[in-house]
């Protein structure tokens, strides 16, 4: 019996964007679908996916939100600037092989249409998965390494985090390739790995890295490292990368009010310690960019990332196969040597009055040794009076 295919759903970030565009909370969506608020939060973060009847209800609700937003988007596209409308007219004229009569040539109006030979566009080249991944790595890796350095303050950890993030992206490339923003997917994976608390237990990360050479950069980096990790990540995404508040909240898996609160607290701390950053609105963005450019970090190479990812996948696959074989062998040995019937345990012995305890062999006493020697020295064939004597 074949199962019907699951109802398609947008990506978790798109689900959250559609909900926030309707100014609805997660609790309101949960009430409409018939689940809890925590379940909706898990759906929007990508940790879980809806199934069955709730998936159909959730998909229809999101489709309704998307249909309601399409007229507004089309109206916004229709209300364009005159220059945009003029460019569209010129583009349509070129596509038909003529130019509009109102087009100007050398500063004078053209009295009639002029025939133009439009060459056919070259066919679009279809990229292979490896080529598409290499293009993504070449475009995002250099900036992402510097951003991760601002997040952790460690150069080696930043390079390792970005390399691991791209390895994970190559392992899940069918999922990443169709994502609405692959760069955001890789950035979130790199940030999650870099901010893992388990790095504190590594011997290589017990001591801090060498500080920047410039005193101003050193002071600014110290202020960044003094912020809590959640505030530091929010500040880097909003002021460094340039995301807006809802996108920052979606990438950090937090609500929009909580993200705004973290951002305000981070700004207050930085402005309190470095007052000159409050001079202009983009002063903090420029300062983060300058600190990024001051560090010469080597981004990972795409071919090395793909090779390392494939080698890591093979290693884990073989380890899983070996572990499974070990479990199967241990289970088979247990079944082979286990008893087939129940054997009741023997009760412990009890002392009985009037019966001497059973004695085992023990060393002879002095009297017993004397008797033993005497008997061995005597003749064994009978009493002496019955033994014939030689005359």
The per-residue pLDDT for range 113-154, each reduced to its tens digit, is 333 344 555 555 677 888 898 899 988 988 899 899 988 888
pLDDT in tens, 337-354: 988 888 888 888 777 677
Q: Closest by alpha carbon to 166, among 38, 66, 32, 309?
A: 309
Element (H, E) at 108: strand 108-109
pLDDT in tens, 165-219: 999 999 899 888 888 888 889 999 999 999 888 888 888 777 778 888 888 888 8
> What is the reported pLDDT for 109?
39
| Alpha-carbon 365 to chain mean position | 80
Which residues are CB-contacts of 191 (< 8 A; sequence separation ≥ 6)? 148, 151, 161, 233
Residue ranges of the chain that CATH labels 1.20.140.160: 129-294
Which two structure tokens, joined as six digits, stand for 354? Answer: 């009037």
Instruction: Answer whether residue 108 shows pLDDT above 60.
Output: no
pLDDT in tens, 263-295: 999 999 999 998 888 878 788 888 888 888 887
Give CA angle at 117 (114, 122), nearest 5°: 145
CA 35 – CA 7 distance, rounded (Å)? 18
Which two structure tokens, joined as six digits, stand for 147? Answer: 């951003």
DSSP state of 115: B
- Greatest extent of the chain over all pairs of C-alpha atoms, in Å: 173
If you search the block for the tokens 């490339």, which residue do you land on? 173
Which two structure tokens, joined as six digits, stand for 177? Answer: 């390739």
CA 53 – CA 7 distance, rounded (Å)? 10
**Which has more confidence, 379 or 231?**
231
Q: Region of 253 please: left (phi>0), alpha (psi -120 to 50) or beta.
A: left
User: 177 with 193: CB under 8 angstroms?
Assistant: no
Give the confidence band of 27 by pLDDT, cuts at 50, 70, 90: confident
If you search the block for the tokens 């990229």, which residue do you land on? 127
User: 294 with 287: CB under 8 angstroms?
Assistant: no
Element (H, E) at 109: strand 108-109
Instruction: Answer whether residue 326 shows pLDDT above 90.
Output: yes
Q: What would the mean pLDDT of 305-325 be, rounded to a whole number?
A: 89
> What is the reported pLDDT for 265?
93
CA 96 – CA 92 distance, rounded (Å)? 6
- In 3-state terms, what secondary structure has residue 382? coil
Which residues are CB-contacts of 346 (< 8 A; sequence separation ≥ 6)? none
If you search the block for the tokens 């109206």, which residue do you land on? 75
User: 125 with 284: CB under 8 angstroms?
Assistant: no
pLDDT in tens, 1-17: 334 456 788 888 888 88
Instruction: Answer whether residue 231 shows pLDDT above 80.
Output: yes
Residue ranges of the chain that CATH labels 1.10.260.40: 1-80
Q: Closest by alpha carbon to 141, among 300, 319, 316?
A: 300
CA 291 – CA 23 distance, rounded (Å)? 37
> What is the reported pLDDT for 101?
37
**DSSP bridge partners of 115:** 98
> What is the reported pLDDT for 382?
56
CA 31 – CA 15 distance, rounded (Å)? 16
Mean pLDDT, rounded, of the chain: 78
Q: What would the mean pLDDT of 344-366 be, rounded to a whole number?
A: 74
Q: Which CATH class is domain 1-80?
A: mainly alpha
User: 234 with 259: CB under 8 angstroms?
Assistant: yes
**Which has more confidence, 92 or 328?**
328
- In 3-state terms, what secondary structure has residue 104? strand
Percentage of residues in the chain with pLDDT exceeding 70?
79
Instruction: Answer whether residue 322 shows pLDDT above 90.
Output: yes
Element (H, E) at 95: helix 82-96
Give the confidence band of 111 by pLDDT, cuts at 50, 70, 90: very low
pLDDT in tens, 62-73: 888 888 877 654
If you search the block for the tokens 């983009």, which residue do you land on? 282
pLDDT in tens, 51-102: 778 888 888 888 888 888 776 545 434 433 433 343 344 334 433 433 333 3
Which residues are CB-contacts of 118 (< 8 A; sequence separation ≥ 6)? 94, 95, 97
**Is domain 129-294 in CATH 1.20.140.160, yes or no?**
yes
């Amino acid at each position: 019996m074949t199962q019907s295919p699951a109802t398609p759903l947008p990506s978790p970030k798109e689900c959250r964007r559609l909900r926030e565009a309707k100014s609805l909370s997660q609790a309101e969506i949960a009430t409409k679908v018939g689940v809890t608020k925590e379940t909706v939060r898990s759906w929007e973060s990508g940790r879980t996916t809806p199934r069955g009847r709730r998936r159909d209800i959730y998909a229809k609700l999101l489709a309704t939100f998307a249909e309601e937003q399409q007229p507004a988007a089309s109206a916004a596209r229709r209300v364009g600037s005159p220059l945009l409308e003029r460019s569209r007219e010129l583009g349509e004229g070129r596509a038909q092989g003529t130019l509009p009569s109102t087009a100007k040539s050398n500063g004078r109006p053209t009295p009639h249409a002029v025939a133009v030979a439009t060459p056919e566009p070259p066919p679009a080249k279809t990229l292979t998965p490896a080529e598409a991944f290499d293009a993504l790595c070449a475009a995002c890796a250099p900036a992402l390494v510097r951003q991760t350095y601002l997040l952790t303050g460690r150069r080696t950890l930043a390079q390792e985090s970005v390399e691991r993030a791209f390895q994970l992206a190559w392992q899940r490339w069918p999922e990443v390739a169709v994502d609405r923003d692959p760069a955001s997917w890789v950035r979130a994976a790199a940030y999650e790995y870099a901010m893992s608390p388990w790095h504190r237990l590594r011997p290589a990360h017990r001591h801090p890295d060498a500080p920047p050479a410039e005193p101003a950069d050193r002071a600014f980096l110290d202020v960044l490292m003094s912020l809590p990790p959640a505030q530091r990540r929010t500040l880097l995404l909003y002021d460094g990368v340039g995301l807006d508040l809802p996108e920052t909240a979606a990438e950090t898996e937090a609500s929009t009010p909580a993200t705004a609160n973290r951002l305000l607290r981070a700004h207050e701390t930085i402005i309190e310690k470095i007052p000159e950053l409050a001079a202009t609105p983009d002063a903090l963005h420029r300062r983060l960019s300058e600190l990024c450019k001051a560090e010469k970090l080597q981004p990972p190479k795409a071919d090395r990332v793909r090779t390392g990812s494939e080698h890591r996948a093979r290693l884990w696959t073989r380890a899983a196969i070996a572990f499974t074989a070990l479990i199967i062998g241990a289970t088979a040995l247990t079944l082979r040597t286990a008893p087939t019937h129940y054997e009741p345990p023997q009760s412990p012995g009890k002392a009985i009055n009037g019966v001497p305890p059973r004695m085992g062999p023990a060393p002879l006493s002095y009297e017993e040794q004397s008797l033993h020697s005497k008997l061995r020295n005597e003749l064994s064939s009978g009493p002496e009076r019955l033994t014939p004597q030689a005359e």
